[in-house]
Amino acid sequence: MSVIIITVIFAAILAFVLGIALGFFQKKFHVERDPKIDVVRAALPGANCGGCGFPGCDAYAEAVAMGRAPTNKCTAGGAATTEAVSKIMGVNAAAEDLVAVLLCQGTKEVALSKGEYVGIETCRAAKLSTGSIKACSWGCQGLGDCVRVCKFDALSMGEDGLPHVNYDNCTGCGMCVEECPQKLFVLVPKSRKGSVVLCSNRNVIKANVIKTCKTGCIKCEICVKQCPEKCITMVNGIPVTDYDKCTSCGICVQKCPTHAYKLLEVDVMGEKKKVPVLTEV
């Protein structure tokens, strides 16, 4: 019995000594927390989406306050958050609200499918196991990986088999860009105006493009030849617009035989979106 009492007394003394030691060392080696961390954190939206490249808002706030990260990385908060954080840090950092754009129009009606897919219901699994569910190996797989990772209810799968962006909710966090195995999403400034090709098919053989998708870019280069501003060039089989020169005249949209070209401010992000009319080529 005495052994037990001695053990209890010894343990209590040891715990007391360790407690005092811990308190001493905590005070001795205490590192003051920069108050700016909490101020920056309060200015962030708290989405913890990871769009800034950090695990969450707490980590990003600390990195900004310590000077290890720029003030314009919070895509969820957009330009307003960048302005607020930059003001706290005493720096100038211009930012523009970004949104995601899907570079594919391969709906169920126009894009040929290889057959019925039986497997794990994710785009990444389908890509790894089959190369592509659709005959167009560049097209959207339509299994909604992008929708599942979106934390802002900005993406939803349509009955046409494609994800649709709600531009009122999209924050440009970039999660869909990272998740899409086909790399079909791009981030563009929300205020951008001009033409864009909603196709990622880089097959240079016209017949093969039409065979797989009726709205695919057939590389005819009519857009390049007809553009009055000479702002369109072919890059890796896809027409690319120079937005510093583009005037949104819409000639490329009108002349494109497969209606792959669209105007960002009207057909993509506009309130009234034009329904593509298919043309036999």
pLDDT tens per residue, range 133-143: 999 999 999 99
Q: What is the CATH number of domain 192-281?
A: 3.30.70.20
Lowest mean pLDDT across 70-74, 144-148, 172-176: 70-74
Q: Give the per-residue pLDDT at 93.
A: 73
pLDDT at 273 over 60: no
DSSP-derived 3-state class of residue 130: helix
Report which of 139, 173, 142 is spatially closest to residue 157, judged by C-alpha positions.
Answer: 142
Angle at 186 between CA 103 and CA 240, to 5 degrees: 65
Do 235 and 224 contact (CB within 8 A), yes or no? no
**What integer is the mean pLDDT of 97-105?**
94
Report which of 145, 130, 229 is spatially closest to residue 184, judged by C-alpha positions.
Answer: 145
Q: Where in the chain is the domain with CATH 3.30.70.20?
A: 98-190, 192-281
Q: Give the per-residue pLDDT at 70.
A: 84
Average pLDDT, the chain: 87
Q: What is the CATH number of domain 98-190?
A: 3.30.70.20
Residue 137 has a CB neighbour count (10 Å cut-off) of 17
Q: Give the per-residue pLDDT at 254.
A: 96
Q: Give the per-residue pLDDT at 281.
A: 35
CATH class of 35-89: mainly alpha
**Distance of alpha carbon 173 from alpha carbon 268, whole angstroms:** 18
User: Which of the listed ranges 73-82, 84-93, 238-247 does the model predict with the highest average pLDDT?
Assistant: 238-247
**Distance of alpha carbon 155 from alpha carbon 148, whole angstroms:** 8
Amino acid making up residue 195: S
Q: What is the pTM of this model?
A: 0.75
Q: Give the per-residue pLDDT at 268.
A: 95
Q: Where in the chain is the domain with CATH 1.10.15.40?
A: 35-89
Q: Give the per-residue pLDDT at 278.
A: 40
